[in-house]
Structure 1
């Protein structure tokens, strides 16, 4: 790994852009939320039994709750962002 602990520095740029397009803004907090969301989503698709087992463990209930909150917040931010984009496009189309 490089000195700054990043295997592929260019991936950060892609992650920031993805976060911006999905949520409307690429703050450090949102980027971290997207990391959790994307990793957990991928694990859930690739190894559902593992995730199901992990979430069933009593010691992971707080983490499970936090992950659920992150998913809900990302969904809310995405809906707000899509709404703003539609409104902007509507105004733009009226001006043509």
Structure 2
């Protein structure tokens, strides 16, 4: 992969994080990336997500917490924009 593409994709992720939750720290962007990928997997291959959830129940709980954290951050960001 070209360095330019990687930088451009990171810029996209940074902007998405800013628009979604109001910040784009490295930690937040990593959380948003995990949230987005897991959400996509759960929608496009639900059997795979279910299998993973069964194999790693602790990780499933962490993912649930992450999803809730992103949801709360998004709600707070949206309410601060009004």
| TM-score using structure 2 length | 0.91
**Shift, 1:16, TM fit:** 0.3
Q: Number of matched residues?
A: 82
Root-mean-square deviation (CA, aligned residues, Å) is 1.6
1:14 partnered with 2:12: yes
**Shift, 1:78, TM fit:** 0.3
Query: Structure 1 regions of 5+ residues with no counterpart?
Result: 87-96
**Shift, 1:54, TM fit:** 1.4
2:63 and 2:48 map into 1 onto residues whose CA distance is 16
**Correspondence for 1:47 among 41, 45, 52:** 45
Shift >4 Å, 4+ stretches: none
Moved more, 72-81 or 62-71: 62-71
More helix by share: 2
Structure 1 equivalent of residue 35 of structure 2: 37
| TM-score using structure 1 length | 0.78
Q: How does 1:17-96 map to 2 (within 5 A)?
A: 17-57=15-55, 60-86=56-82
Query: Structure 2 regions of 5+ residues with no counterpart?
Result: none
**Shift, 1:9, TM fit:** 2.0
**Shift, 1:63, TM fit:** 0.9
